[in-house]
Structure 1
Amino acid sequence: MSSFAPLLQSRSGGSRTRPALRARLERLANAAVTPLVPADYLDLFNPLRAGAELRGRVVAVEPETADAATIVIRPGSDWAGHVPGQYVRIGVDVDGVRQWRAYSLTHGPRRDGLISVTVKAVPEGVVSNHLVHEVRVGTLVHLEQATGEFVLAPEVADAPADGTRSKLLFVTAGSGVTPVVGMLRNLFPVTDDGVVRLPRSAHLDITVVHVAPSRPDSIFRRDLEALDAAGAIRLVARYDDEHGLLDVARLADLVPDLGERTTYACGPGALLDAIEAHHAAAGLELFTEQFRPANLVVSEGGEVSFTRTGATVDADGATTLLDAGESAGVLMPSGCRMGVCFGCVLPLKEGSVRDLRNGEVTTAVPGEVGPEGIRIQTCITAAAGPCHIEI
């Protein structure tokens, strides 16, 4: 990099430099480091810089239970921030395969600029087990901007002008507690001196019904119990080994003023289905977010479906998605067909694809990617299992 950086500086400085000359010098610099470009070298020295692909560096791994840990990350300069309750998609490389998963942020905005997610290792979970048991401080991970609508409505978060209290109920199960903890930590920060009761949260009357297999397996149990002891919330803990499975039909027994509360629920699908049916029958207000297990099989080749056209084709692991689509009669956008011009980019809505240049696998998991999917270059990627392309 040192061989061409001074040249760029001396020839491109000053207001009299012509744009054509700058462009020519940049092309020369790029050619000198082919197949890399100067930005690649900048990423080596400062991967969290502004303008780089959004990444984060793991700065701490804090065990929560035997199979759960909080991963603290310093995000890149282009991190746009988040609202408590939102989630972030994290990409990690495991055995040469890049896997993406979505995790709720477990706090509000922090003064130190760090973000954190709490991950529970699930049986045969490639990413969750890697993050909980194997990831090390200093590891770089890929990030997307925070998203999600499971957040407190402004009319709830802000104190009513008439001085009335806003009554909320949070129902959480397992790792579904993580977005709720993010909201609670923002409303009631916990310091070395204990829970801080902020004036902006004084109007809130919060009950939390938290379900876990057992007390030792309860993620954020200490946080919830500290908030309960400080009077910030009323905690109703339900442990399967002590109380049996939660019967949603008897939720009013645990929360006598249920009809006066706005409910936020997050957890497994079966629990949320039961709560949705219960609240719909009672005419109660409910906001939910569901955690979905992801078990996509990565292989060589697979069935490729093109969602808008309805066409499908069985493609082997060496055939590009561009060629596979054209063989099925799908009119595919393309340009150089070499991965240079990006004229072939389309959204991957679900499934896994492999970059034929380096073997890197990209995975889109339903419920974890946004409606826009993950944009891929079809001319240099092949199916790595069943996948759905938006065209």
Structure 2
Amino acid sequence: MPQIRALRRVASLLTTPLSPEDFLGLVNPLSSTRQLRGVVTRVTRETPESTTIHFRPGKGWNAHEAGQWARIGVEIDGVRQWRSYSLSAAAGHDPAITVTAIGVVSTALARHTTVGDVLFLDTPQGDFTLPEHPRPLLMLTAGSGLTPVMSMIRTLVPRRPDADVVLVHSARTREDALFHDELLELADQFPGLVVKHWYTREGAAPAGAGEAHGRRLDLETTTDLESLCPDWRDRAAYACGPADFLDAATALWERDGADDEHAGLTIERFAPVLLPGTGGEGGLVTFEKSDKEFDAPGDVTLLDAGEECGVVMPSGCRMGICRSCLTPLVAGKVRDLRTGEVHGEEGDLIQTCINAAAGPVHLDI
């Protein structure tokens, strides 16, 4: 309306050089039109090293699907850092992330976040989501790989009387097992959920609990899986966890899985799939604007090299998806650690999270 546009022009004149939105941000931290934000509403300790952070997003947030992830920004020592985290809350609820204290950013979030803190947000992404049509499911997870699957379970099991879900979760000990009590309560309440915990350390569960195995879940053969979920071949399977866990699961399904395409395996990785032997010789990386250098081995990403020597590097997913880490190449060649391809011309935008130095490299950062 003309009147509203006129009021906005007057407000802009009165607040210059700031905008009216800048002043609104002092009252409501979610009112910014420049950057999507969320305010922390609850903080829950899950394990000694893991914390769930619930937040209320501001305008512009798209409701997440169960299993998706989002980029989360947090200011540390005056510098905004971005990381990608799976959303652990059920679809249709305010979002939450469950963070394990590994690395500078995750440790700051897990140990120092308090109610009322403001997080910077990007919209939910990812296709690690529930199947379109109901069918028996197998969820195979390890460590923090349970996080996106927990969103699926919280979404599906309480809402669908016909749910048929078997969860096999591997953790080091009972104390390290995310959402342990909640999962057992859900399994008691809803017959459509069966939970099998697998602990990899001796004595990791109370005597008689039948859950302490003292070794890693073996996915090189079908023996362990057959004992935990005899009809695993007939289920649509989802797996999330460390890279070697997912590699073994992928090989198992390719070798011994069913021919039915609907009973295949869908995986979610927290790190890029790197081609073995693509490291090469590495080289001296010069971060020109930061006036820093780092002699990087051939298997160390440019992102890790920069952070190692104190350069504030843009980043997001850290696995070659979101392209938030794009940095101009001034000189030199880089090697894509996923394919082994050597590439690079002056002025190219380089994904620093998946490329390493292939000889001397100069970056415009």
Q: Normalising by structure 2, what TM-score?
A: 0.70
- CA 87–350 in structure 1, closer or farther in 2 if over 3 Å, else same: farther
Equivalent residue for 2:56, pick from 66, 74, 84? 74
Once the two structures are superposed, residues 274-326 of structure 1 have per-residue CA deviations (whole angstroms, 9 ceiling, x without a partner) of 00000011244100001239xxxxxxxxxxxxxxxxxx99442258xxxxxxx
CA contact (8 A) 1:351 1:365 kept: no
- The offset of 1:114, in angstroms, is 2.3
- The aligned counterpart of 1:210 is 169
- Residues 140 and 169, structure 2, Cα contact 8 Å, conserved in 1: yes
Name the counterpart of 1:265. 239
TM-aligned CA deviation for residue 38 of structure 1: 2.9
Change (3 A) 1:65 1:13: same
Name the % identity: 35
Residue 148 (str. 1) matches residue 148 (str. 2): no
Query: Match for 1:134 among 89, 99, 112?
Result: 112
Query: Which residue of structure 2 aligns with residue 286 of structure 1?
Result: 265
Q: Which whole-Å CA distance do the structure 2 matches of 1:28 and 1:289 have between them?
A: 46
Mean Cα deviation higher: 212-221 or 284-293? 284-293
Determine helix, strand or coil for the equivalent of 1:169: strand
The reply to whether residue 116 of structure 1 matches residue 96 of structure 2 is yes
Q: 1:263 corresponds to which letter in structure 2?
A: A
Q: Structure 2: how far apart are the matches of 1:350 and 1:23?
A: 49
SS in structure 1 of the partner of residue 105 of structure 2:
helix
Instruction: Tell me: CA distance 1:313–1:367, structure 2 relative to 1, closer, same or farther (3 Å).
Output: closer
**8 Å CA contact retained: 1:351, 1:364:** no
Give the residue type in structure 2 aligned to 1:247.
Answer: D
Judge which range, 97-106 or 214-223, deviates more.
97-106
Letter in 1 for 2:3: G
Match of 1:277 in 2: 251
One-letter code aligned to 1:238: W
The reply to whether residue 246 of structure 1 matches residue 197 of structure 2 is no
SS of structure 1 residue aligned to 2:165: strand
Larger radius of gyration: 1
Partner of 1:89: 71
Query: Once superposed, what is the RMSD of the aligned Cα atoms?
Result: 3.6
1:181 equivalent among 150, 155, 159 = 150
- Secondary structure at the residue paired with 1:214? coil
What amino acid does structure 2 have at the position aligned with 1:92? V
CA contact (8 A) 2:303 2:313 kept: no
- Equivalent residue number for residue 237 of structure 1: 197
The question of whether the paired residues in 1 share the 8 Å contact of 2:21 and 2:31 is answered with no
Report what 1:363 is aligned to: 315
What is the aligned partner in structure 1 of residue 37 from structure 2? 55
CA distance in 2, matches of 1:368, 1:135: 27
Q: Whole-Å Cα distance in 1 between the matches of residues 65 and 316 of structure 2?
A: 24
Deviation at 1:26, TM superposition (A): 6.3
2:39 is paired with a residue of what secondary structure?
strand
2:324 corresponds to 1:373: yes
- The amino acid across from 1:280 in the alignment is E
Query: What amino acid is the match of 1:169?
Result: L
Q: Which letter maps to 1:245?
A: R
Between the aligned partners of 1:180 and 1:267, the Cα distance in structure 2 is 11
- Please give the per-residue CA displacement for 1:130-158, whole angstroms capped at 9, x wherever unaligned: 111111211111000011111012123xx
- 1:24 shift after superposition: 11
Give how far 1:92 is off: 0.5
Seen in structure 2, the aligned counterparts of structure 1 residues 66 and 260 have a Cα distance that, compared at 3 Å, is same
Amino acid in the other structure paired with 1:128 = S
Find the partner of 1:29 among 2, 9, 13. Answer: 13
Report how many aligned residue pairs link the two structures: 292
- How far apart, CA to CA, are the structure 1 residues paired with 2:26 and 2:197? 47
- Secondary structure in 1 matching 2:80: strand
Indicate the SS of the match to 2:60: coil
Secondary structure of the residue aligned to 1:153 is coil
Is the contact between residue 121 and residue 129 of structure 1 (CA under 8 Å) also seen in structure 2?
yes
Q: Is the 8 A contact 2:71 2:84 kept in 1?
A: yes
Tell me: CA distance 1:188–1:155, structure 2 relative to 1, closer, same or farther (3 Å).
closer
Asked if the contact 2:239/2:265 (under 8 Å) is kept, the reply is yes
Letter aligned with residue 236 of structure 1: K
Once the two structures are TM-superposed, the CA of residue 171 in structure 1 deviates from its matched residue by 0.2
In the alignment, the residues of structure 1 paired with residue 147 and residue 8 of structure 2 have an alpha-carbon distance, to the nearest angstrom, of 51
After superposition, what is the alpha-carbon deviation per residue over 1:235-268, rounded to whole angstroms, capped at 9, x for unaligned?
A: 1110011311100122222211111111100111
CA distance in 1, matches of 2:44, 2:174: 19
Shift in Å, 1:181: 0.8
Q: Distance in 1 between matches of 2:34 and 2:50?
A: 31
Counterpart amino acid of residue 40 in structure 1: D
Q: Secondary structure at the match of 1:73?
A: strand
